[in-house]
Structure 1
Amino acid sequence: MAVPCSLSAKFKGSFAYFTVKDRLPQILTRVIDTVHRNKSKFLEEYGEEGMEAEKKAIAAFSKLRNELQTDKAVLLLTDPLPDTELWNQYLEYQQTLLSAEEQPSWFTSPWLYVECYMYRRIHEGIVLSPPICSFDVFKEGKDESFFQSQQAISALCTFFQELAKEIKDRSEEQVKEAFFKLLQVSLWGNKCDLSISSGEDNSQKCSPLNSLAALQPCILVDDSECLWSILSHSRKTSNCKESVTRIDVVLDNAGFELVTDLVLADFLLTSKLATEIHFHGKCIPWFVSDTTKSDFRWTIQQLRAANHRWMSKCGNNWDGNLKKQVWVYHDHLFWTLPYEFCEMAQVAPDLYTELQKSDLVLFKGDLNYRKLTGDRKWDFTVPFSQALNRFHPAPLCSIRTLKADIQVGLKSGQGEQLTSSEPTWMTSGKYGVIQFSALA
């Protein structure tokens, strides 16, 4: 079994180490700046209490940044939220892996753990600063990314609505071609990740549809045919009223990527490749741009209100899908815990049982891939199903652009060749995978 890496072990001696090591303090600096810039808003809404809350939150974030930069010990959480005990139990578990004289610290603990822990501490800093305890420190960046992607969003909505008008008359092969195209749009939408850019603009400026052919060689693993095999069966049995095909989408980023996911989900219903879609998002602000319930609803309302025929039609249709409950949104605290997904059945059996109802689970993005595979230094040729470590509630697929130094399921020599020609291939976002694993 490959082992998880600490921040220092994972990147020491390489440019990537210093890049990633600096990224978290940069994110905290932007959080501090965001809270400070909203000082007048807090004063207007809450009076002097708001001013005191702003100071308290900034003090908490400054302390956190210092702990991170100076490799201090990881501390217990102190807020009253439902997941606090689970987080503190996980820290105690990390302690059992060390000698009695050692403490889990920022640079020596597993990188996936401390990165998630930082975002949970950011949320703690807000929660312990009433009355601003519902303030999303990342919302401004998420909203800005959405608005800066308007050209790409309008092009995608236009393409989809024109496709939807003719879907009943399309042949099986044409529907398959359209599915592959929208699946790839959803894949490349994953490039727009604000946690990788430390919150800087990373929006989609032009239509991704025009780039799909050029990007095709950058898909290192493409199991689209496996997905089609599952979904086309539903299309063929769609005349049976009792036939239900449920697709679950574990979301990643808000903004343009979320729109690509919603368009893909609408296509699955419209083409009768699925009868219901279940979305899974985060219950707290997470990894700068991850989708929360508020982001999900806000995005649909923005499209409904858009001064663009096809954008507003998409927004109205999606709002209708939610009301008809053919689209269902879920959030669960497990998605913002430090556990790998192979521990879901034990830690969150209710969520695991829910996913078992699905015919296919699509996991979007890099963080989900890291949690699927345990963020371990696997050999490139290790099968995806093996790296899942027995996590398999249903047939599943990872749709991800590579932004962390982990990848499995490659052909012999493929990873080594890429490393030789492009040393940053695993972190640049240039490459992607559509990687499937069936139930054993």
Structure 2
Amino acid sequence: MMAADRAVPEVPLSLSANVVGSFAYLTIRDRLPTILTKVIDTIHRNKNKFFEEYGEEGVQAEKATISLLSKLRNELQTDKTVLLLTDGLADADSWNQYLRRQQDQQDPVSWFRSQWLYVECYMYRRIQEALWLNPPISDFDVFNEGKTQSFFESQQAVIALCTYLQDVNTNMGKLSKDQLQEQFHKLLQVSLWGNKCDLSISAGQENSQKASPIDSLSNLQPFILVDNSDMVLSALVSAQKPEQPGKTRVDIVLDNAGFELVTDLVLADFLVTSGLAHKVCFHGKSIPWFVSDVTANDFRWTIRQTMAANHKWMSKSGYEWQSYVREGVWSYHDHPFWTLPHEFCDMPVDAPDLYATLQGADLILFKGDLNYRKLTGDRYWDHTISFNTALRGFGPAPLCSLRTLKANVQVGLQPGQGEKLSSKDPDWMTNGKYAVIQFHSPHSEQ
């Protein structure tokens, strides 16, 4: 083995401008190569499919893609310098400019000694580069099989949730104000705990929902570390304008496909049916991302599969969701910024069009761990720092993070709360057992 190819020995943890960095070394060394190996295996297993669709050209593209991904895996495992993108796609300049900004602060930028948020996002972008450089398989979603499997393995939970939703919708006109609030809290928590089903955390292993999510809520309540759901509801109620009826808009920045997406669709259905919102805009990824993140294809596919289900209430839910999309009550959007490594406080400068779009919402729900890391900059914040402070000026509209904890960043806790959790459960920030519902309004200090 040449010296340049030797694996880098373990290094002590370090801080880089208060940004989460080398503490993730073991995760980079172990989990990310595992994900890359699964990607390579998936492409190889589809070799016959590529041949059937594209002939020998498809086979050659499969070989060339695997070669690039194997090279990427070696770079990752041996702490090579992070390279500029070469595919010439629309977002490549933004990625390369971001890398050059990192180089101004650190020389060289390598896999083990860089900001964790950056290199993790960078790996997924390089996977797409390997595919895009090798037509005709450029549009192949290497994570589709896992997302599809996750959806079907959660069928019983989806059926239970759709059945519950249809019962709530049928009786909506009979609900008192308190009962309406109770249903809001329940379905907000269902969407929250749907975030436990994250294939990027399990490195693509089975991670579906089996039990009825409604039945689990009371047992999960003690694990919600911050619960601002009353503030979220208050923001929605305050957004109802008698002089502009029917104008309330909720934006949901999605995380995972599969069961979590269903929980988000159920919540969106309730918001519309209850009149708390009149329009829901979903924001997803423009490319396959973090193993299980929602793309436009996943969004459409999930609604179609729900419509086609051999269950009365599940199918009825799917048909209603399709009608929402057709009528423009629901809409799906993607933007290159969601698959850049930038923190969200960069959005006004780096994606002013997206920021302006979000400013049109009355409430933005940010789902999941990656969105939380980008909201807070993935920094080593003291746990008692306010959510408002950690956002560093980001606030296009009232916003709420629905997140189960899977990364080493958490703000907005009470004094001593983090220390108590650490003594009771040392892995509380990463095991997905705990969750937060954190709200911020740009119109008032938190």
TM-score by length of 1: 0.95
The whole-number CA distance in structure 2 between the counterparts of 1:332 and 1:281 is: 8
Which of 140, 143, 156 pairs up with 1:151? 156
* 1:196 lines up with 2:201 in the alignment: yes
Q: What do residues 416-436 of structure 1 show as CA deviations (whole Å, max 9, x unaligned)? A: 111111100000000000000
Q: 1:94 maps to which residue?
A: 102
Q: 2:373 maps to which residue?
A: 370
Is 1:2–1:377's contact at 8 Å kept on the other side of the alignment?
no
Change (3 A) 1:240 1:318: farther
Is 2:399–2:441's contact at 8 Å kept on the other side of the alignment?
yes
* 1:208 lines up with 2:216 in the alignment: no
Q: CA deviation at 1:129?
A: 1.0
Structure 2 runs not aligned, ≥5 long: 1-15
Q: 2:138 maps to which residue?
A: 133
The whole-number CA distance in structure 1 between the counterparts of 2:243 and 2:362 is: 17
* 1:25 lines up with 2:30 in the alignment: no
SS in 2 for 1:213: helix
Q: Which amino acid aligns with 1:393?
A: P
Q: 2:125 maps to which residue?
A: 120
Q: Which amino acid aligns with 2:204?
A: G
Matches within 5 A, 1:264-303: 264-303=267-306
Structure 1 runs not aligned, ≥5 long: 12-16
Q: What do residues 6-43 of structure 1 show as CA deviations (whole Å, max 9, x unaligned)? A: 2x2x24xxxxx534530000000000000000000000
What percentage of residue pairs aligned between the two structures are identical? Answer: 63
The whole-number CA distance in structure 2 between the counterparts of 1:167 and 1:4 is: 47
Q: 2:407 maps to which residue?
A: 404
SS in 2 for 1:334: helix
* 1:68 lines up with 2:71 in the alignment: no
Is 1:61–1:122's contact at 8 Å kept on the other side of the alignment?
yes
The whole-number CA distance in structure 2 between the counterparts of 1:5 and 1:359 is: 32
* 1:244 lines up with 2:252 in the alignment: no
Is 1:375–1:406's contact at 8 Å kept on the other side of the alignment?
yes
The whole-number CA distance in structure 2 between the counterparts of 1:108 and 1:80 is: 26
Is 2:235–2:398's contact at 8 Å kept on the other side of the alignment?
no
Is 2:28–2:112's contact at 8 Å kept on the other side of the alignment?
no
Is 1:2–1:378's contact at 8 Å kept on the other side of the alignment?
no
The whole-number CA distance in structure 1 between the counterparts of 2:313 and 2:195 is: 23
The whole-number CA distance in structure 2 between the counterparts of 1:299 and 1:168 is: 28
Q: CA deviation at 1:242?
A: 3.8
SS in 2 for 1:88: helix
Is 2:373–2:409's contact at 8 Å kept on the other side of the alignment?
yes
The whole-number CA distance in structure 2 between the counterparts of 1:41 and 1:152 is: 32
Q: Which amino acid aligns with 2:18?
A: V
Which of 220, 224, 231 pairs up with 2:229? 224
Q: Which amino acid aligns with 2:390?
A: A
* 1:418 lines up with 2:421 in the alignment: yes
Q: 1:345 maps to which residue?
A: 348
Q: CA deviation at 1:283?
A: 0.2
Q: Which runs of 4+ in 1 moved over 2 A?
A: 17-21, 232-235, 239-243
SS in 2 for 1:143: helix
The whole-number CA distance in structure 2 between the counterparts of 1:3 and 1:308 is: 51
How well do the aligned residues superpose, as a CA RMSD in angstroms?
Answer: 1.2
Q: 1:179 maps to which residue?
A: 184
The whole-number CA distance in structure 2 between the counterparts of 1:118 and 1:313 is: 40
SS in 2 for 1:30: helix
The whole-number CA distance in structure 1 between the counterparts of 2:192 and 2:323 is: 25
SS in 1 for 2:431: coil
SS in 2 for 1:433: strand
Moved more, 372-381 or 224-233: 224-233
Q: 1:38 maps to which residue?
A: 46
SS in 2 for 1:400: strand
Q: 1:142 maps to which residue?
A: 147
Q: 2:18 maps to which residue?
A: 3
Q: CA deviation at 1:232?
A: 2.6
Q: What do residues 241-290 of structure 1 show as CA deviations (whole Å, max 9, x unaligned)? A: 64411100000000000000000000000000011000000000000000
The whole-number CA distance in structure 2 between the counterparts of 1:234 and 1:375 is: 31
The whole-number CA distance in structure 1 between the counterparts of 2:314 and 2:213 is: 16
SS in 2 for 1:353: helix
The whole-number CA distance in structure 2 between the counterparts of 1:231 and 1:317 is: 23
Is 2:337–2:351's contact at 8 Å kept on the other side of the alignment?
yes
SS in 2 for 1:179: helix
Q: What do residues 287-334 of structure 1 show as CA deviations (whole Å, max 9, x unaligned)? A: 000000000000000001111111111111111001110111110000
Is 1:234–1:272's contact at 8 Å kept on the other side of the alignment?
no
The whole-number CA distance in structure 2 between the counterparts of 1:419 and 1:406 is: 13
SS in 1 for 2:396: coil
The whole-number CA distance in structure 1 between the counterparts of 2:35 and 2:326 is: 37
